[in-house]
Amino acid sequence: MDWNDYDAALFDLDGVITPTAEVHMRAWDQMFNDFLRDRGEGQPYTDEDYFEYVDGKPRYDGVRSFLASRGIELPEGDPSDAPETESVAGLGNRKNADFEEILQDEGVEPYPGSVTLVKALQARGTKMAIVSSSRNAAAVLAAARMLDYFPVIVSGKEAGERGLAGKPAPDTFLDAAAQLGVPKERAVVFEDALSGVQAGAAGDFGLVIGVDRGVGEDALISNGADVVVDDLEELA
C-alpha cells in the first residue's frame, strides 16, 4: 500500500498491537464457564461464542450478547457491582478482575510485526491512535512499552465517560480521527474483530485493514475489511 494516500492509522489494541486478545479470551472463558457451571448449565462457553458474541465489543455489551444467545436473563446491575454479583455489570467486572490477574501474572509483549509497522509510521510522520473497547488500554500499552507511540487513546473508559457508542458503531474511530485532526477519508483502520471491521466500514474510512488472528479472511472481508493481512509487518 502507498502510505502517501493516508495521514493517520487508527489501531485496535487487543489482537492488533498486543496479543492481549488471548488474555481476554482466557478471562472470558474462565468467567463465563464458572458462571454456567454454578448455574448447572450443560452447554459450556466456547471460543466460537467469543468470536460470535463478545470479540471487540465493550465489556457489558459482550456479557449481554452472550447471555441473550443462551436465553439467560440477569438484572443490568451497576458498574459498581462486586464481581460476585449475578448481574450484567457484575459478570463484566468479574471478567475484568480475571483479566487483570492474568495480565499481572504473565505480562504482555507486543507483536513484533506490529512494532515494526508502528515504528515505520512514526518515522514517516503518520499520526496514530489506539481505539479499543477495553478499559485497560493504557495499562496494556504501558506493560507492552508502547504507550509513547500513541498520543490519542480512545478506550472503553473514555467512550463510557463521553457517551460514545461502542463498536460496531463507528463513533470511537471517528472521535480518534477528529482528535488527530485527520479527515476519515485519510485514515486507516486496523482491526482483528468482526465488530471492529464493521465499525470501520460504517465510518466510511479511507481503508479498513483486517488482521487475521483467527477470525478468518472471508469473515473479515464480508464484514467490512478492504484488505486482510496475517501480520502488520506486511504493510511496513
CA-based angle 217:157:232, to the nearest 5?
30
Q: Is 12 annotated as catalytic?
A: yes
Distance separating alpha carbons of residues 63 and 53, to the nearest angstrom:
8
Distance separating alpha carbons of residues 64 and 188, to the nearest angstrom:
30
Nearest to 92 by CA among 68, 65, 66, 62: 62
Q: Which of 12, 81, 98, 171 is catalytic?
A: 12
Residue 8: count of CB within 10 angstroms of its CB: 24
How far, in whole angstroms, is CA 97 from its chain's centroid? 17
Q: Which of 7, 14, 175, 192 is catalytic?
A: 14
Q: Is 5 annotated as catalytic?
A: no
**Cell output for 147:** 504507550
The runs of H, that is alpha helices, within the chain are 20-39, 47-49, 59-69, 88-106, 112-124, 137-143, 156-162, 171-180, 194-202, 217-222
**Exposed, middle or buried: residue 127 (CB in 10 Å: 0-12, 13-18, 19+)?**
buried
Residues designated as active site? 12, 14
